[in-house]
A and B are shown apart, each in its own frame.
Chain A
Amino acid sequence: MVATPPILHEVESTFAFTVNGSQVRLSTPPVRRLSRVLRENLGLTGTKVGCDAGDCGACTVLLDGDPVCSCLVPVAQAEGHEITTVEGLANRPPLFDRLQNSFLCHGAAQCGACTPGMLVSATALLEQNSAPIEIEVLDAIGGVLCRCTGYRKIVNAIVDVGIQSSAFSSPEAGHAVGSRMVRLDGASKISGSEIFGADEVPADCLSVRAIRCPHHRARFRFGDLDRYVATHPGVHAVFTSKDVPGIDRYGVIPDFADQPVFAHDEARFRGEAVGIVVGDPDAIEALNPSEFPVSWEVLDPLTTIDAALSSEATQLHPDLHRPNNVLTGGRVVRGDVDRALAEADVVVEDEYETGFVEHAYIEPEAGFARPIGNCIEVQACTQSPYMDRADIAKILGLAPEAVRIIPTAVGGGFGSKLDLSVQPFVALAAWHLNRPVRMVYSRIESILSTTKRHPARMRLRAGANRAGKLVALDFTADFNTGAYSSWGPTVAKRVPVHASGPYVVPNYRAVTRAVHTHLVPAGAFRGFGVPQTAIAQEQVYDQIADKLGIDRLEFRILNSLEDNTPTVTGQVLGEGVGIRACFEALRPHWIAAHQAAKEFNATIPGPIRRGVGIAGMWYGCGNTSLPNPSTIRVGLKPNGRIALHQGAVDIGQGSNTIVTQICADAMRIPIDRFDLVSGDTAITPDCGKTSASRQTFVTGKAAAMAGKKLRDAMSALANVSGEDATLTLEDDALIVEPTGRRVGLTAFPLDAHGYVITAEATFDPPTSPLDENGQGLPYAVFGFGAHMAEVAVDTDLGTVKVLKITAAHDVGRAINPTLIEGQIEGGAAQGLGQALMEEFFPGKGENLHDYLIPSAGDMPPVESILIEDPSPIGPFGAKGIGEQAVIPTAPAILNAIYDATGVRIRRVPATPDRVRAAILASRGGPSHA
Chain B
Amino acid sequence: MQSPGLSQITWGQPPSAVRRSAAPQREASGETRQSAPRPVQTGITRIKIDGKALPERLLRLFALGGPTHLYFQPRTLEEAVQTLATHGGQILSGGTDFYPSLGERAAPGDVIDISRVAEMQGVRIESDHVRIGGRTTWTEIIRTPLPRCFDALKAAAREVGSVQIQNRGTVAGNLCNASPAADGVPPLLALDAHAELISIAGTRRLPLSEFIVGNRKTLLRSDEFLSAVIVPRDLDDAPSAFLKLGARRYLVISIAMVAAVVKLDPRETITQARVAVGSCSVTARRLADLERDLVGVAIARGWTSRVSANHLRPLSPIDDVRGTAAYRNDAALTLIRRALEACTEAH
Contacts and interface: CB of A to CB of B under 8 A. Distances in A.
B7 interface: yes
Contact of A837 (B247, B253, B334): B247
With most chain B CB atoms within 10 A of its CB, the pick from A68, A397, A839, A856 is A68
B18 to A, nearest CB: 11
Nearest to B243: A797
A6 B51 contact: yes
Contact of A235 (B35, B95, B162, B334): B35
Contact of A234 (B60, B65, B115): B65
A57 B166 CA distance: 13
Interface string A116-156: 00000100100000000000001110111100000000000
A31 B86 contact: no
Contacts of A54: 96, 99-100, 161-162, 164-165
A916 B44 contact: no
B59 A11 contact: yes
Given A225-B33, A434-B22, A912-B331, A283 B40 contact: yes
Given A8-B48, A76-B60, A286 B168 contact: no
B250 interface: yes
Interface in B309-347: 321-324, 326-327, 329-331, 334-335
B298 interface: no
Interface stretch (A236-244, A478-486, A628-636, A659-667): A236-244
B31 A849 contact: no
Contact of A911 (B39, B57, B94, B247): B247
Nearest to B35: A229
B26 interface: yes
Given A283-B65, A849-B253, A912-B255, A858 B100 contact: no
Interface residues of B, number: 92
B51 A7 contact: yes
A282 B250 contact: no
Given A69-B164, A912-B331, A229 B64 contact: no
Contacts of B36: 230
Contact of A143 (B49, B164, B323): B164
B251 A8 contact: no
Interface stretch (A22-30, A256-264, A583-591, A765-773): A22-30
A142 B113 contact: no
**Of residues A13, A73, A284, A841, which shows the largest number of chain B Cβ atoms within 10 Å of its Cβ?**
A13
B330 A433 contact: no
B202 interface: no
Given A8-B50, A283-B40, A69 B168 contact: yes
B29 A432 contact: yes
Given A1-B7, A911-B247, A245 B28 contact: yes
Contact of A243 (B30, B66, B71, B163): B30
A798 B322 CA distance: 13
Contact of A280 (B65, B162, B250, B329): B65
A60 B163 CA distance: 10
B251 A55 contact: yes
Contacts of B139: 66
Interface string B50-81: 11111001011111111000010100000000
Contacts of A13: 43-45, 60-62, 71
A465 interface: no
Contacts of A435: 21-23
Contacts of B301: none
A74 interface: yes
A43 to B, nearest CB: 16
Interface stretch (B104-112, B217-225, B285-293): B104-112
Interface string B82-112: 0000100000101110111001111100010
B41 interface: yes
- In this complex, the member of B36, B60, B96 whose beta carbon has the largest number of chain A beta carbons within 10 angstroms is B60
Contacts of A7: 49-53
A73 B95 contact: yes
Contact of B251 (A27, A72, A143, A445): A143
B38 interface: yes
A140 B162 CA distance: 8
Contacts of A243: 29-32
Contact of B71 (A9, A76, A140, A142): A76
Contact of A57 (B60, B103, B162, B321): B162
Contact of B113 (A77, A235, A852): A77
Contacts of A751: none
A280 B42 CA distance: 10
A288 B106 contact: yes
B167 interface: yes
B42 A855 contact: no
Given A30-B60, A434-B26, A282 B40 contact: yes
A11 B50 contact: no
Contacts of B54: 9, 11
A27 B106 contact: no
A167 interface: no
A289 interface: yes
Contact of B64 (A12, A145, A236, A285): A285
A143 B166 CA distance: 10
A11 B62 CA distance: 11
A10 interface: yes
Contacts of B33: 225-226, 229, 237-239
Contact of B323 (A233, A286, A912): A912
B93 to A, nearest CB: 9
A33 B99 contact: yes
Interface residues of A, number: 108
Contact of A72 (B45, B52, B86, B99): B99
B267 interface: no
A33 B106 CA distance: 11
B201 to A, nearest CB: 15
Interface in A815-842: 836-837, 839, 841
Contacts of B250: 138, 142-143, 855-857
A7 B39 CA distance: 29
B297 interface: no
A287 interface: yes
B49 A9 contact: yes
A403 to B, nearest CB: 14
B331 A916 contact: yes
Contact of A245 (B29, B100, B248, B251): B29
A692 B154 CA distance: 48
Given A11-B47, A13-B60, A66-B139, A282 B41 contact: yes
Interface string B222-256: 00000000000000000000000101111111010
B165 to A, nearest CB: 6
A144 B161 CA distance: 11
A737 interface: no
Nearest to B113: A76
A470 interface: no
Contacts of A607: 334
A467 interface: no
Contacts of A864: none
A850 interface: yes
Contacts of A847: 100
B34 interface: yes
Nearest to B48: A8
Interface in A1-47: 1, 3-4, 6-13, 27-33
21 contacts: A1-B5, A8-B48, A9-B49, A10-B46, A11-B59, A142-B250, A143-B164, A143-B251, A232-B35, A233-B65, A237-B21, A237-B32, A280-B19, A283-B66, A286-B65, A433-B21, A849-B100, A852-B248, A857-B248, A917-B324, A929-B327
Given A233-B38, A239-B33, A855-B250, 13 more contacts: A3-B7, A4-B52, A29-B62, A52-B100, A54-B161, A73-B168, A74-B95, A76-B113, A140-B163, A282-B64, A286-B64, A434-B26, A798-B327
Which 10 residue pairs spanning A and B have beta carbons closest together? A143-B162, A857-B249, A928-B326, A29-B62, A286-B64, A142-B250, A913-B327, A283-B65, A6-B50, A53-B100
